Amino acid sequence: MPVTGELLHRIDKGGTLDELANELDMRKSILVAIIEFLFRAGYLCEVCSGKECARCRMSKMCCVPVPGGGKSWVKMYVLTDKGRESITGSNGKPR
């Protein structure tokens, strides 16, 4: 599986930048650049309000503030329909 597909799978599972960088054996700065590219290409959307949280697999155990939720926040991403289709195919089954 290409790096993009593997990264999308790992983002869908949840995790931090440090965890993803270690698992994929890549520098964090490279990982951030790839994530930003995937965001601009429409594979990811940034979690900006509570509505995206419901789609996140980590939502029940998450305690991280998101944008608009206070002074300190982190960027969080979820797969868009385009991102989900790229890892499952048009039939909805994992590739």
Burial class (CB in 10 A: 0-12, 13-18, 19+), 21: middle
Specify the pLDDT at position 73.
55
Q: What percent of the chain has pLDDT over 90?
A: 29
pTM here is 0.69
pLDDT of res. 93: 54
Rounded distance, CA 61 to CA 89, Å?
29
CATH of range 3-85; options 1.10.1490.10, 3.20.20.450, 1.10.10.10, 3.40.50.300: 1.10.10.10
* pLDDT level of residue 36 (50, 70, 90 thresholds): very high
